[in-house]
Amino acid sequence: MAVLPDVLAEDLDVVFCGTAPGRYSAEVGAYYARPGNRFWPTLHQVGFTSTRLEPQQFRQVLGCKLGLTDLAKHTSGQDASLSKKDFEPRALHRIARRYRPKFIAFTSKRAAMEYFGRDVEYGLQTPTFEVTSFFVLTSPSGLATRYWQNAKHWKELARLVKSAKEK
Domain segments of the chain as ranges = 14-166
Q: Does residue 80 surpass a pLDDT of 80?
A: no
- The pTM (predicted TM-score) of the whole model is 0.94
C-alpha distances in angstroms, 84 versus 43, 69, 81, 95, 110? Answer: 29, 18, 10, 20, 10
For residue 164, name the pLDDT band (cuts at 50, 70, 90): confident
Backbone angles phi, psi at 135, to 5 degrees: -140, 140
- Main-chain dihedrals φ then ψ at residue 81, nearest 5 degrees: -90, -5
Give tens-digit pLDDT for 91-141: 999 999 999 999 999 999 999 999 999 999 999 998 888 889 999 999 898
The residue ranges of DSSP E strands in the chain, in sequence order, are 14-18, 66-70, 103-106, 123-129, 132-136
3-class DSSP state for residue 79? helix
Determine the pLDDT at residue 150.
Answer: 73
C-alpha 79/C-alpha 24 separation (Å) is 14
The predicted pLDDT at position 144 comes to 58
State how beta strands 103-106 and 132-136 pair. Answer: parallel
pLDDT at 83: 82
pLDDT, average across residues 2-28: 95
What confidence score (pLDDT) does residue 165 get?
Answer: 80
57 vs 36: which has the higher pLDDT: 57
Is CATH 3.40.470.10 the classification given to domain 14-166? yes
